[in-house]
Amino acid sequence: MAQAAPQTNRMALVKFLRTIPLLSFLPEQELHSIAPEVIEQQHANNEFVFRDGDSADWLYFVKHGVVRCLKYGPDGKGFILKPLLPGDSFCCESVTFDQSLPHPGNAQAMGNVTIVKLSRRTYLQLIEQYPRAGPQVITYLGNRLRESQEMAKSLALDPAEKRLAALLVRLAEKVGVPSEQGVRITTVFTREDLGHMTGMTEETVVRILSRWRESGLVSTAGGKNLLIPAIDSLKTLAG
């Protein structure tokens, strides 16, 4: 079960909160004021942050690690809708819109994850208190809508290699570990996971990665980890 971490480093927490777009309307003093109400939690691999149908009482932010948005089909098989990476916010729509609606999906840790969460009650009070909050929340939600539209367009029109390259570039930039050999993606994504997030079969992902390994674009760095020797080459492929 996830445990709330002790608030031993208030300044580090405030520094993290300052990077979150949904809190950027708050003055420095207010960030310090709400810090005691912010809960930091550690989640182990495969542990659920919340489940489909749970009450949407919190606004969440990923501090470390990767969280997957997961939906189960009628046969009980899970499908990853998108990865949530460090700095990403989630559940803003549930918190700020119809408060009677539960979570429409699951959020599950991939590896060890640190989550920061703020209660709906506190966040709505902040929105009411600061007039600047409204436009910034609208901008954030508009960007989320645009990202969803771009993703739908990519799934419909972009070649499979371009979709996979774009995903790996995003993962490399957010959770990659730089080294002399390149950028290492150390999270626990399976080939099936990569397929879910790019709208292709596991077999297609395996074929593409095999071609990329032969050409030197990627290499296997032990287990499920990938090493990207030249990230710029992958960015070019991603467009």
Specify the pLDDT at position 99. 65
Decide: 199 and 192 in contact? Cβ < 8 Å: no
Same domain for 214 and 115, yes or no, is: no
216, 162: one domain: yes
Query: Do residues 60 and 79 share a domain?
Result: yes
Where are the extended beta strands (E) located within 139-222?
Answer: 176-179, 182-185, 219-220
125-131 contact pairs (CB < 8 A, 24+): 126/25, 126/26, 126/30, 126/34, 127/96, 130/25, 130/26, 130/30
What is this structure's pTM?
A: 0.82
- Which residues of the chain have a pLDDT value below 70? 1-8, 97-100, 187, 221-224
Q: What is the pLDDT of residue 209?
A: 93
Boundary-marking domain end, from 127, 155, 183: 155
199 plus 91 within the same structural domain: no
Instruction: Check whether residue 151 and residue 201 sit in a common domain.
Output: no
CA distance 196 to 202: 8
Check whether residue 184 and residue 125 sit in a common domain: no
Domain boundary (138, 155, 172) is at 155
Among 95, 127, 155, the domain boundary falls at 155
Distance of CA 111 to the CA centre of its chain: 13
SS3 content of the chain, % helix, strand, coil (to 5): 45, 25, 30
pLDDT value of position 3: 47
137 plus 209 within the same structural domain: no
Expressed as residue numbers, the domain containing 206 is: 158-238
Shared domain check, 128 and 34: yes
| Residues 123, 59 contacting (CB under 8 angstroms) | yes
Instruction: For residues 149 and 182, state if they share a domain.
Output: no
Q: Each residue of 42-71: pLDDT tens digit?
A: 999 999 999 998 988 999 999 999 999 988
